Homo-oligomer: A and B are copies of this chain.
C-alpha cells in the first residue's frame, strides 16, 4: 500500500476509467478490480468510494440500476451520455499528469 497522500485525487479518475472500459460495475466490484489490477497496492476504502459514486451520480456523470442477486442488492453504475463526454478529458488529464510527474522524477536509467 502506498502512502495515503499519494492516492488522493486519483479515486475519481480511476472509477471513471474502469467504467469507461467495463460499461457497468458495482461498488464492491470496483474495489476488487482495483486491488486486482494493482496487485493489492491500491485498496479503495468504502468510506471514500461510496460518497464519490453518489457525488458522480448527483453530477449526472453516472446513473444507476439496481439488480437483485437473491435477496442481496447490487447497484450498478454506468456512464451517462453526459458522463462519456467528460470522461475522456479527465483520463487524458490524468495521463498527461503522470507523464509530467515522470518528468520530474525522471528515473535515471531504466527505460524499457
Q: Interface on A for B, CB 8 Å cutoff?
A: 2-10, 12-14, 17-18, 34, 37-38, 41-42, 90-91, 93-98, 100-105, 107
Bound state CA distance, A18 and B106, in angstroms?
A: 11
Contacts of A103 in B (CB 8 A): 37-38
Q: Identify 12 new A-B residue pairs, CB closer than 8 A, beyond the known A7-B97, A38-B100.
A: A2-B96, A2-B97, A2-B100, A5-B8, A17-B104, A41-B97, A41-B100, A42-B100, A91-B105, A94-B105, A95-B105, A98-B101
CB-nearest residue of chain B to A16:
B105
Closest to A41 in B: B100
Nearest CB on B from A4, distance (A)? 8
